Structure 1
């Protein structure tokens, strides 16, 4: 057995013990409520671009999860959205002024913490959405500058204009861009659903802990199977109403 596999299993056991203890506290205090699915969904896919989904970049996420769960799960979600006409927003991140010593930069101060300068707007191969889940006609690609897909963008207005009340959020990373997008989505009045198998990160244990905590406070964590059934059902309901 690989040492990494042993370490991962031990980490899982430690996290489960933490989850069990935390659940008692949350339930005693009224957390872990359900927000539920609404009538009009949209898929918001955060940073599933090459700099995150492919090897060789500082932002590269866990490749076993990416290739084994996240991309296949996304393909199923996209198929359901496309078959039933649900909005799809692909979100990516890139910067035009990547010199950290420049007197002005669209990186702001974030580059003081993480190497965002490596995602150069001039290098489209880095910030382009992974070809395995590439946008098709009618889908929108949103370029953001901060962690949340809502911060400083028109995402909320686009969704409301389309009558969306529910967002299925996927992507990377669980600790940053996905989490902040979910928090801001709820704050903006959308029913937030985190798609369990389609959220990744770079750090072991980060996904499990963040999804557990998100499920307690900011979104319902649901499986790909459940979300696909919902997308199919919502599509059928909308067609019947027409």
Structure 2
């Protein structure tokens, strides 16, 4: 059973509302928000140098890049790196996004590079974006439809920002979303937990990474 890392934020009334309204079993009532697809694509969101930084405390990391998360990011990388190897081994397609801020004149600036431990392989697609959602003004929807993908497994950052924006859009485009919670991160712990809670209630299935592996294995063996 999944450990819900946001439980410590909930009041007793919050817990009662979640149960009484059925969010704990069904998710959103207006659309299918917990559907596990049969042909998922793994989407790696914005694992770049200016966001990840060095493996140091976050308060030190922000001295070099104000957006860097340091050890917060690297703790997630410890889970993302083996999960990507697992997904590739099972034949899942892996696609990356890369945010290119308007403050950067050179899209090839080293700050924008995806960090080595989770870098794309030579034949994998990297989608450049300007705003939070990987769907906004990009080719992601076409890529998913061309590959007959019905869902996404999303890893990366930040939980409350680019991940959440992408997950909301994915649901609105009709895709299922699975979130391996150890493979996601945010610079603010409360934002991370609340972001996961909101997405679990309304837009996505949130699971422990081991459970996502079991789900992928069930697809391969089916």
> TM over 0.5: same fold?
yes
In structure 1, C-alpha distance between the alignment counterparts of 2:106 and 2:180, rounded to whole Å: 28
What residue is the counterpart of 1:147 in the other structure? Answer: 132
- TM-score, normalised relative to structure 2: 0.83
What residue is the counterpart of 2:73 in the other structure? Answer: 66
Q: 1:17: Cα distance to partner?
A: 4.5
In structure 2, C-alpha distance between the alignment counterparts of 1:191 and 1:24, rounded to whole Å: 26
Residues 1:206 and 1:234: Cα distance change in structure 2 (over 3 Å): same
Q: 1:123: Cα distance to partner?
A: 4.9
What residue is the counterpart of 2:13 in the other structure? Answer: 21
- TM-score, normalised relative to structure 1: 0.77
Query: Which segments of structure 1 move beyond 3 Å, counting only runs of 4 or more?
Result: 119-123
What's the Cα RMSD here? 2.0
Structure label with greater radius of gyration: 1
Q: How many matched pairs?
A: 202
Paired residue secondary structure (2:128): strand
1:169 aligns with 2:154: yes
1:90 aligns with 2:87: no
In structure 2, C-alpha distance between the alignment counterparts of 1:188 and 1:23, rounded to whole Å: 30
* Matched-pair contact (CA < 8 Å) for 1:172–1:178: yes
Deviates more, 1:185-194 or 1:227-236: 227-236
CA deviations on 1:114-146 (whole Å, 9 max, x unpaired) are: xxx2x5534521111111111013311110111
Q: 1:58: Cα distance to partner?
A: 1.5
In structure 1, C-alpha distance between the alignment counterparts of 2:110 and 2:45, rounded to whole Å: 17
Identify unmatched segments of 5+ residues in structure 1. Answer: 1-11, 99-116, 238-242
* Matched-pair contact (CA < 8 Å) for 2:72–2:187: no
Identify unmatched segments of 5+ residues in structure 2. Answer: 28-33, 54-60
* Matched-pair contact (CA < 8 Å) for 1:171–1:200: yes
